[in-house]
Structure 1
Amino acid sequence: ESLLVSADDLVSFYVDAAWENNENVNGTRILSAARQLTLIEKLTKEAVCLGFSNITGAWISGTVAEYETMKEYLLNGFTGSERKYDIKAADEETILAQMAIVSSAWDALKPLIASIANEEDGWSDSHHLKDVVWASDQLLKAMDIAV
């Protein structure tokens, strides 16, 4: 988790510097899209580690909520605490088309993750784990193109 915080801090410096050079730069959108990649990886790790260490279903559900909130911001826009942190609603055809692919991949992964979050003591089926890893990989590939 601390690595995510450090990465977010570092990228925030980028957004600030980019804004100083050009107020039209979509730095926060880029940061948010890249953060989605990190959240997908985090979610997969949490799902795999459920039942080992301190990972709980509630923790996984929190990561799901964070991912979905950011996905909503990327599609529909967001007004930040300062104008440089605003996210413009997606209106470019190429972005909308790729985000439709991302949404489809998320729709395949989310129910797998939800069922795992209900298994507090770990995995009941190794095939289910393979499905999660495969679906996560598909989502990562789709989101990587979107970034």
Structure 2
Amino acid sequence: MYKRSCGKIIFASEDLHVVKIKIPLSYKNKNYVGSIFGGSLFAATDPIYMIQLMQILGKDFVVWDKKTNIKFKRPAYEHAFATFEFTTSEINEIRQKVEAENEVDYTKILHITDKNGTIFAELDKTLYISTKGFYKQKRSLKK
């Protein structure tokens, strides 16, 4: 499904703390006025933070995309780019919060830009994070 967004991963650091994507403008994602379709911009960014955190935190954690708000700033009449980054201090903060509270909502701000940094869209993405044990216990109580 990710391929249909037209998004392409162009860089991933070995530890997955940094992932960069490109959303090329093409006939596949061009809208009526010739810019990148907003849904394509959104879809190309959708899974990255979740997958990063799942890999960084490891198998003892549950990570879900919970909410995204997107604010379109200007039309993308050229290729678009986004950089997804987690610092070591952010990962430590997430681990500490989950340890203390069992589950947390963590929000990241993401900019979709041109090659020079001009912003096409701004997203705030909220991720749900918990330990697998707590998540399973919580889900069993809802049944």
More strand as a share of residues: 2
- Per the TM superposition, whether the score is higher than 0.5 is no
**Higher RCO, 1 vs 2 (CA within 8 Å, ≥6 residues apart):** 1
Q: What TM-score, normalized by structure 1, do the two folds share?
A: 0.33
